[in-house]
A = this chain, B = another copy of it.
Amino acid sequence: MTKIKIGLLGLGNVGSGVAQILQENAANIFKRTGKQIELKSVLVRDLNKKRNSNLTNVHTTTDAHSILTDPEIQIIVEVLGGEHPTYEYICQALQNKKFVVTANKEVMAKHHAELTQLAHQNGVDIYYEASVGGGIPIIQTLKVGYAANQLKAIYGILNGTTNYILTKIEEDHLEFNQALQEAQKLGFAEADPTMDISGLDTAYKLTILAGIAFKANLTLADISYEGIQSISLKDILYADEFGYKIKLLAMGQRTKNNEFCLSVQPFMLPKSHPLAAVRNEFNAIYVVGDAIQDAMLYGKGAGSLPTGSAVVSDIMDIAFNYPHNSRRNLETDFPNVKVLPADLQQNKFYLRLLVNDEFGVLEKIAGIFGKNKVSILKVIQKDIIAKQAELVILTHLVQQKDMQQAIIELKKLNCVQEVCAIIKVGLE
C-alpha cells in the first residue's frame, strides 16, 4: 500500500481545518485515492500553545528546515500566509522535489510563473486551489473542466468580508462603518480590514485567476483596483430602485483585439444576474467561454473547513496518480499580453451629484457631458434639501478617461456642490 506523507507548514485557521479533514475523512480519502495519506510533521510558532485540534502521532516542530528536507515527506502544505519566509520555504520544497500545496494568494499572485517553472525543473508541481475562492474549486475547473474553451471573460466576487458588508448595508439599511463593525464582531472582518476593503485582496486573486483563465503572465500592476470604503447606503438604495445590486467585482475581459481589461471595483449589476444573488460572506466566479458560454461557481470563500477542503482536494489530486507525476500545470510558458490601461476601458456609469436647485443646472451638466462624449441614459432628480437637489445619472458606454475629464469639469461648475458617487454599471 502506497503511503503519502505530508509536512504541514502552519497550524492556524486553515491548517487546523486541513488536519481535521485529513483525520475525519481518512477512510473516504483512502477509498477514493487508493493511497494512505498521513500528516507527519507540522511547523508551529509555539510548541507549548494549547490547541483545539487533536493531533495524534503528529510531530510538531518550530524548525521548517527539518520538514522541508525530510526524505519521507512527499507533499508540503503551506498555510502560513504572507510573502516571506513562505516564498523561500516553497522554493526549497520544490528544489527538494516535493509537491507543494499552498493557500497563499500573495505568493501565487507575485511568483506564479517562476514557481511553476521551478516545479517543472524538479519534476513536481505546485497546487494552489485554496489561494482563491476558499472551497470553490475554480482553479481546477479552469484547468480541466473548462479546458476545452477559450475564455472571453471572468467576473468574481472574491472577498467574503466586503460582500458581507455590502449585503448588510443593503438588507439592514446600515451605513458602511456600522456594517464593518458588525462584520468585525462576527469574525467576517479583521481588526485591520484594509487588505479586504481596499480591494487589494481581490486584486491578488484576480491576478491569479485571470492568469490561468487567459493563459497570460499578469502581475498586480496590471490590475486597477479600488475598494468599497466610499459606498453609501444611499447609493445601494438607488441602485435597488434602478434594478441593480452593488458588488465588489473583479473583472477580466478579453477584447476583440485580444487585449485584456482587468479591474476590481464596486460595480452595479442587474438583480437578475446570477452574481447578484451572491449574499453575505459567499464568493462566486462567473466565466464566459466560447463553448460553455455562461457559467458560475458559488461557495464559501474562506473559513477553516472550506479552505481546508480545497487544500485536501489538491492533496488528493496529487495522490491520485502518485507516484506518476500528475501535473496540473503543464503550461509553464505564460506569454506577456497587452493589458488595456484603465482609462481606456469602457463602461456605463452611475453618478450621484449634489447641485444647487436652480434654473439651468441640468443644461450645464449635459453640456459638459456632451463635450466629453458622455451620453446620458437617464437623469432622476431625488431629494431637495435646503435648496440643494440630488441628481442621479446613468450614462451609456463611455471611455473611463472621458468620464474622468467630465467629472473634473463638473466639479468646477458653481452649481455643482459635490460629486458624491461614481460607480461603474454593466453585465446587462
**A residues neighboring B (CB under 8 Å):** 17, 21, 24-25, 28-29, 31-34, 129, 135-137, 140-141, 143-150, 215, 272, 274, 276-279, 282, 289-300, 303, 305-306, 308-310, 312-313, 316-317, 320-321, 324, 326, 330-331
Beyond A140-B141, A277-B277, A292-B300, 17 additional pairs, beta carbon < 8 A: A24-B290, A25-B149, A29-B147, A32-B143, A32-B330, A33-B330, A34-B330, A129-B145, A135-B292, A137-B145, A140-B140, A144-B317, A144-B320, A145-B313, A289-B309, A295-B297, A295-B298
A293 in complex: contacting residue of B135, B146, B294, CB < 8 Å: B135
Q: Are the CB atoms of B298 and A21 closer together than 8 Å?
A: no
Q: Are the CB atoms of B309 and A300 closer together than 8 Å?
A: no
CB contact under 8 A between A147 and B313, given known A137-B141, A295-B299, A321-B324: yes
Q: Are the CB atoms of A29 and B294 closer together than 8 Å?
A: no
A312 in complex: contacting residue of B148, B303, B321, CB < 8 Å: B148
Q: Are the CB atoms of A140 and B135 closer together than 8 Å?
A: no
User: What is the chain B residue whose CB lies nearest that of A141?
Assistant: B137
Return A220 CB to nearest CB of chain B, in Å.
25
Q: How far is the CA of A317 from the CA of B277 in the complex (A)?
A: 32
Q: How far is the CA of A277 from the CA of B282 in the complex (A)?
A: 15
Q: Are the CB atoms of B300 and A298 closer together than 8 Å?
A: no
Return A141 CB to nearest CB of chain B, in Å.
6
Which B residues are CB-close (under 8 A) to A299?
292-296
User: What is the chain B residue whose CB lies nearest that of A135?
Assistant: B292
Which B residues are CB-close (under 8 A) to A136?
295
User: What is the chain B residue whose CB lies nearest that of A297?
Assistant: B297
Q: Are the CB atoms of B149 and A145 closer together than 8 Å?
A: no
Which B residues are CB-close (under 8 A) to A310?
145
Which B residues are CB-close (under 8 A) to A31?
215, 330-331
Q: How far is the CA of A25 from the CA of B147 in the complex (A)?
A: 10
Q: Are the CB atoms of B331 and A32 closer together than 8 Å?
A: yes
Q: Are the CB atoms of B148 and A137 closer together than 8 Å?
A: no
Return A151 CB to nearest CB of chain B, in Å.
10
Name, among A17, A129, A298, A308, the residue most crowded by chain B CB atoms within 10 Å (CB to CB): A298
Name, among A32, A34, A308, the residue most crowded by chain B CB atoms within 10 Å (CB to CB): A32
Which B residues are CB-close (under 8 A) to A17?
291
Q: How far is the CA of A143 from the CA of B135 in the complex (A)?
A: 14
Q: How far is the CA of A233 from the CA of B24 in the complex (A)?
A: 48
Q: How far is the CA of A149 from the CA of B21 in the complex (A)?
A: 8
6 A-B pairs (CB sep. < 8 Å): A31-B331, A33-B330, A135-B295, A140-B140, A141-B141, A148-B309
Q: How far is the CA of A290 from the CA of B25 in the complex (A)?
A: 10
Which B residues are CB-close (under 8 A) to A145?
129, 137, 140-141, 310, 313
Which B residues are CB-close (under 8 A) to A146?
137, 309, 313
Q: Are the CB atoms of A277 and B274 closer together than 8 Å?
A: yes
Which B residues are CB-close (under 8 A) to A306?
291-293
Which B residues are CB-close (under 8 A) to A129?
145
Return A144 CB to nearest CB of chain B, in Å.
6
Q: Are the CB atoms of B147 and A32 closer together than 8 Å?
A: yes
Q: How far is the CA of A148 from the CA of B317 in the complex (A)?
A: 10
Which B residues are CB-close (under 8 A) to A312?
147-148, 291
Return A116 CB to nearest CB of chain B, in Å.
14
User: What is the chain B residue whose CB lies nearest that of A324?
Assistant: B324
Top-8 shortest CB links A-B: A137-B145, A148-B312, A295-B299, A291-B309, A135-B292, A277-B277, A296-B298, A291-B305
